[in-house]
Amino acid sequence: MRTSRSVVIGVDSSTQSTKAVAVDTATGGLLAVGRAPHTVTGTGGARESDPEEWWTALATAVRAAVRDAGIPATAVTGIAVAGQQHGLVALGADGRALRPALLWNDTRSAPEAAALAAGLGGPKSWLERTGSVPVASMTAAKWQWLREHEPAHAAATTGVRLPHDYLTERLTGHAVTDPGDASGTCWYGHGGGAGRDSYDPEILDLLSLDPALLPAVAPSGATRVGTLTAAAAEALGLPRTVVVAAGTGDNMAAAVGLGLGGAGLLDHPVVSLGTSGTVFAATRTRPADPGLAGFAATDGTYLPLGCTLNCTLAVDRFAALLGLDREDAAPGADAGVVVLPYLDGERTPDLPHAAGLVTGLRHTTDPRAILGAAYEGAAFTVLHALDGLLAACGLDLTDSAVRDRPLRLIGGGARGRTWTDTVRRLSGRPLVVPAAEELVALGAAALAGGAVTGEDPVALAHAWGTGAGELLPPLARSTETWDRIAGVLTAASPGLLR
């Protein structure tokens, strides 16, 4: 008979905020969610945040989750952090950030990314070594940007961390990362090349990056790396005995929360509609597509991922410009309107300097059709990346078993009627919309549970049922809308978009 409850905390430190979930380790029951906001600054291509604010937000969110769960702090046995990927945190001699972190959607490093991609034997060599070709979002390009634009900061750097690494180190005092988040740096090799499953020494030489500045790589995101330091325990209001898992990147944690991985679902695609749009799947096939990020999952499988920069935030901006509610949309292509909503440049396709494009307007155009076209343009971009993802997993796109496999739709957009309808119309696929809303944090909680119990975190999440949800039947695929948008994109590139 259980005499006490074991609770684990999963932390999602995202671009805009921190969420912390308190989860019953035995049942997966969600007891409470704590939240705290972040500040993002920058104009033009710059996007930066103060890492100290992430730490304050983490402590605030964890305290709120424990309080609202109505449990004693002694019930908490484990914690893990999932963080926004790719961000560059440059530490000084005091262990604190020398400057604000460069975030994943900071596009100032596009020239450095292009120069790096041309080096080291070109894109094919990068794919063989790291699974990805450098683009502006990758950490390697950001480090190169820092070296070239702020050499004093680069010279003073005593440690280079990803956002989740930084927070895990604040929790434990140990500099550690995991294969999943490390695979988003473009200096970690996994599954091939000279730097197989380690930092690639030739790439580090190219970047003039001392490997001593980098964290150790734990075997998985569920690896136990320590317990809370005295300072962290005081900040979070938790006992020092709380076990800390290595944690991972946000996309890898979402995959765990959905039950994707070696102990769960393989080759099942996920579409995430948030500030960015992402598509990913856990697979045993090592990807080699320059249009995808060839990430590692946190459990030893692969997690190829396509990412677009413009998704829900861009569509909401169109709604605001038009003076409409986000749900006041009508199909745009039906009115001949096409919108490529590349307001922040674009990552997939690789158009870092692009601006938004609207075409097909008439005096009679209904503003609701323009908003609907913004939805369609954003959804098209994400779903186009999905086709490349499935091919990279070694799947035959003409096979009905692949073509009709449900999409798991997650992120804030998954809660919107217009988003789900648009994805169904453009994909022609059934959708599974998980009931759980905090899948990144729940995945992090499963990593914490794995560190505490020794169980496989994917199997644990599957047992918790965090990926279960409503099945929406497919709608007839609107090939006319798809072809219209594809035609505009082809005609506009590169003249109007670069």
Based on the residue annotation, tell me whether 250 is a catalytic residue of this protein.
Answer: yes
Q: How far apart are the first and last CA of the chain?
A: 65
> Which residue's entry shows tokens 């679902």?
265
Contact, 388 vs 382, CB < 8 A? no
Instruction: Tell me which long-range contacts 230-235 makes (C-beta under 8 A, separation of at least 24).
Output: 232/170, 232/171, 232/172, 235/55, 235/59
217, two tokens:
């790589």
**What residues contact residue 47 under an 8 Å CB cut-off, 6+ apart?**
40, 41, 102, 103, 104, 105, 106, 107
* 8 Å CB contact between 148 and 108: no
Name, in order, each residue with C-beta under 8 angstroms of 486's C-beta and a sequence gap of 6 or more: 380, 384
Between CA 225 and CA 169 the distance in angstroms is: 10
DSSP state of 3: -
DSSP helix, strand, coil percent of the chain (3-state; round to 5): 40, 20, 40
At residue 132, the 3 state secondary structure works out as: coil
> CB–CB of 163/142 below 8 Å?
no
Question: Which one of 250, 289, 344, 456 is the catalytic residue?
Answer: 250
Q: Is the Cβ–Cβ distance between 255 and 270 less than 8 Å? A: yes
Cis amide leading into 349 (omega within 30): yes
- What residues are annotated to the active site? 250
